[in-house]
Structure 1
Amino acid sequence: MMSKRIKQLLKSLKELYSVQVIEKIASKTKFMKRKSKITPEIFVSLCLFWGDDLCRSSLLQLKSRLEAKEDITISPQALDQRFNESAVEFLKAIFYEMFEKQNEILKDDETLLRYHFKSIKVVDSATIILPENLEPTYRGSGGPRW
């Protein structure tokens, strides 16, 4: 049975990925300047949900996914033009909003995190220094501060 907090997290993520929110972010980041065959929500789906690895997919494969899922015919060159600075800013904003939503829910109930994540394993010698304002929330091992 799914916990109440997990259900709340899923609901928030669904709200984040609503057409209205995605279009608002697309306008704000100048990804959506005019109506297009590839709407912002289709672009998000193409980049995030329709394949195993966007970075390893060819433009031809991405074009085929658009044709199969959305009945959109577009040349690989036209699709390539959609992957521009505005698209990067758009996807960064989507991820930032998702991260913010998740954090709002998860920080309110630390027991949810403890229930699903029993341990953290550090497999390299990287040092992570958090901003001072996060120190009370995320206490370290008590070692020296850098």
Structure 2
Amino acid sequence: SSVKAGIRDRTTAFIVSENSWPSFMYENYEADTKNLERGLFKSKLLIMGLKAIFTSPSSANEVDGEGDGADIIENNRHTRRRTNQAKVKTCVASIIGMRKVTPRAIAYAACQIRFALSNLTSWRTVDGDFDYHLFWNNVVDFFKDAPGPAA
């Protein structure tokens, strides 16, 4: 499509920068152009990324659909309590005392997913027109200054 070509060719109208909310962060991977907050941070991929990083890679497979991901940590605790399987390694969330998903955790997962979806083979703070450090700050700042009812 012309949008893909514009992004690939870095046409001025299609520059994807740290000030953009990538579609992988939206519920059903699609932004509502009339309300850019609707569905933001609710994609299945973002929730799976959070679970893979902070609870366990296998827990990411338990994500059924789109959602807000608010119960990621708590649901993982309940699942581990109910299973009588062999002892499982302590998850990152437990090691760092994480009791809920935080803006910084969302920002970290979003950066990791953005990198995984890119064509880079090694980490760089700046990828063309995209600055991961500024992107991380933009995600965290969104929750500090959340303009809608989510605040």
Shared fold (TM-score, shorter chain, > 0.5): no
Q: Report the TM-score when normalising by structure 2.
A: 0.24
With a CA cutoff of 8 Å and minimum separation of 6, indicate the structure with the bigger relative contact order.
1
Q: Report the TM-score when normalising by structure 1.
A: 0.25
- Largest Rg, 1 or 2: 1
